[in-house]
Amino acid sequence: MIKKILFACLILSSNLYGQKFQDLALTPPMGWNSWNHFECDDVNEKVIMDMADAMVSSGMKDAGYEYINIDDCWQVGRDAKGKIIVDSIKFPNGIKHLSDYIHSKGLKFGLYSDAGTHTCGGRPGSKNYEKQDAESYAEWAVDYLKYDWCNTEGQEPIESYTLMRDELYKAGYPIVFSICDWGASETWKWASDVGHLWRTTLDIADRWDGTRWGNQLGWVNILELQVGLEKYAGPGHWNDPDMLEVGNKGLSINEARAHFTMWCVLAAPLITGNDLSNMSKEIKEILTNKELIAINQDALGKQGFKIYDEGNFEIWQKPLSNGDMAICFLNLESEDKDFTVHWGKINIKDYTGTYKVQNLWKNKKTKDTNETFSLKIPARDVVIFKLHQ
Ligand code: GLA
């Protein structure tokens, strides 16, 4: 009898551990991460505090962004007991100080580590120190952990990520767990019970398409790699096509708008990667657009999918709550595209009856779906509509 009670308590407590973590990402996480703009050399305490300030003053917080995440290069070694040592040149007041500052702004705080011996930037990884690191994160009130996959020779992703998940559970502080093995293990097939989001590809480059250094891809290449992954995403578990490059120097305004729109359609985590303290009006308008963010954050949690493709011109659909849907026309050409929209003939899934139509970037109602019309989609840009009944 006592054994049975103990067993029941064990099951209950492990469920309770898990429960704290289950509801942390019911919609795709929104925030900012240091890597895309500041990389290793330029990240430090002042930058992180400035970004937290700017997230509030720019209106990003009001638009729904909440995480301020430090990526690689905050750590330098381990002490005699194995506790991770913070880079005291970059972060002279330690991590808890920053975490407190970020929380005092009503924001949440994220950190980065790696499942292997070293991070991709050559800093100490968490291998063999998972428990200690999870306890440090809990002590520092870390709300989000991105966990990378460099220097993991001989390790098995499911095992390594599950090990860290369990240590995070045991440490007991609710934390979003972001898996980053670049989709190498077809991560979407196993990760939904282990993490809240998982990278699906190599790193994003600050460019429209093509590659950089062989391991970075333009966002258009990344977009094409998301086709077919939609069935793996849903509330609490998201495909992660990598952080946004909107506001960095490689994309023009229309290219940045198209990138942001497609990440909204994909129900991708909206983790910005620009300098929030130095944003143009146009970039701020893109990143804080309420209509687009509502598409990304829709409670149904469906990832969008491609319904039409003629090479450099594509149509994507994202199902929304209440039978509504977003339909996005993406022009990948360097010239404007004219297209006649017959709503009933473009292969929209679960299309029934007549819908009212709203052009989301213009925030304008247009003709309903009974009417055919000619649409001009500017070069390397999008036009996205919400259809509602
Ligand atoms: C890997 C990740 C990136 C970034 C760097 C940091 O390349 O995929 O997102 O975290 O490591 O070194």
Per residue in 103-144, pLDDT tens?
999 999 999 999 999 999 999 999 999 999 999 999 999 999
**Measured from the CB, is residue 110 less than 6 Å from ligand 1?**
no
Per residue in 284-319, pLDDT tens?
999 999 999 999 999 999 999 999 999 999 999 999
Percent of the chain having pLDDT more than 90?
A: 93
pLDDT at 13 over 70: no
Which residue, by CA, sits nearest to atom 4 of ligand 1?
Answer: 35
* Cα-to-centroid distance, 148 and ligand 1 (Å): 7
pLDDT recorded at residue 9: 45
pLDDT recorded at residue 227: 98
Same domain flag for 50 and 89? yes
For the chain, how big is the Rg over CA atoms in Å?
22
**Measured from the CB, is residue 245 less than 6 Å from ligand 1?**
no
Same domain flag for 135 and 106? yes
Confidence grade of residue 16 (pLDDT, cut at 50, 70, 90): low
Q: What is the mean pLDDT of residues 188-207?
A: 98
Report, as residue numbers or ranges, the catalytic residues.
148, 203
- Name the residue of 148, 179, 240, 244 to mutate for ligand 1: max ligand atoms within 8 A of Cβ: 148
Q: What is the mean pLDDT of residues 356-369?
A: 95
Q: Which ligand 1 atom sits closest to the C-alpha of 121?
A: 12
Confidence grade of residue 11 (pLDDT, cut at 50, 70, 90): very low
Same domain flag for 289 and 316? no
Same domain flag for 10 and 98? yes
**Measured from the CB, is residue 143 less than 6 Å from ligand 1?**
no
Same domain flag for 290 and 341? no
pLDDT recorded at residue 176: 98
Confidence grade of residue 10 (pLDDT, cut at 50, 70, 90): very low
Which residue, by CA, sits nearest to atom 5 of ligand 1?
Answer: 120
pLDDT recorded at residue 17: 60
Per residue in 71-90, pLDDT tens?
999 999 999 999 999 999 99
CA nearest to 179, candidates 221, 230, 242: 242
Percent of the chain having pLDDT more than 70?
A: 95
pLDDT recorded at residue 213: 82
Which of 270, 296, 322 is where one domain is finished? Answer: 296
Per residue in 316-347, pLDDT tens?
999 999 999 999 999 999 999 999 999 999 99
Residue 229 maps to which CATH number?
Answer: 3.20.20.70
* Cα-to-centroid distance, 36 and ligand 1 (Å): 9
Q: For residue 55, give the H/E element and its range.
A: helix 45-57
- Name the residue of 71, 211, 212 to mutate for ligand 1: max ligand atoms within 8 A of Cβ: 71
CA 11 to mean position of chain CA atoms: 32
Q: Which ligand 1 atom sits closest to the C-alpha of 182?
A: 8
* Cα-to-centroid distance, 274 and ligand 1 (Å): 15
> 302 by DSSP, 3-state: which?
coil
pLDDT at 358 over 50: yes
CA distance 147 to 130: 11
CA distance 45 to 34: 11
Q: Which ligand 1 atom sits closest to the C-alpha of 203?
A: 8
**Measured from the CB, is residue 119 less than 6 Å from ligand 1?**
yes
* Cα-to-centroid distance, 93 and ligand 1 (Å): 24
Same domain flag for 122 and 252? yes
User: At 72, which amino acid appears?
Assistant: D
Mean pLDDT, rounded, of the chain: 95
Same domain flag for 53 and 122? yes
Which of 279, 296, 313 is where one domain is finished? Answer: 296
**Measured from the CB, is residue 124 less than 6 Å from ligand 1?**
no
Which token pair is 182?
A: 């670049």
Which of 296, 330, 352 is where one domain is finished? Answer: 296
CA distance 359 to 373: 13
What is the length of the chain? Answer: 389
**Measured from the CB, is residue 283 less than 6 Å from ligand 1?**
no
pLDDT recorded at residue 5: 52
Parent domain of 275: 2-296
Which residue, by CA, sits nearest to atom 11 of ligand 1?
Answer: 120
Which token pair is 217?
A: 């891809």
pLDDT at 18 over 80: no
**Measured from the CB, is residue 72 less than 6 Å from ligand 1?**
yes
- Name the residue of 37, 69, 70, 72 to mutate for ligand 1: max ligand atoms within 8 A of Cβ: 72
CA distance 92 to 70: 15
Same domain flag for 241 and 168? yes
Q: Which ligand 1 atom sits closest to the C-alpha of 71?
A: 10
Q: What is the mean pLDDT of residues 51-55?
A: 98
**Measured from the CB, is residue 121 less than 6 Å from ligand 1?**
yes
Q: How many CB atoms lie within 10 A of CB 292?
A: 24
Same domain flag for 240 and 327? no
Same domain flag for 272 and 321? no
Asked whether 263 and 223 are in contact (CB, 8 A), the reply is no
Strand partners, 217: 204, 211
Residue 341 maps to which CATH number?
Answer: 2.60.40.1180
Q: At what angle do helices 130-139 and 157-171 cross, to 10 degrees?
A: 40
pLDDT recorded at residue 214: 81
Same domain flag for 270 and 330? no
pLDDT at 34 over 90: yes
Please tell me the total count of domains within the chain: 2
Q: What is the mean pLDDT of residues 8-35?
A: 77
- Name the residue of 38, 179, 180 to mutate for ligand 1: max ligand atoms within 8 A of Cβ: 180
Same domain flag for 102 and 217? yes
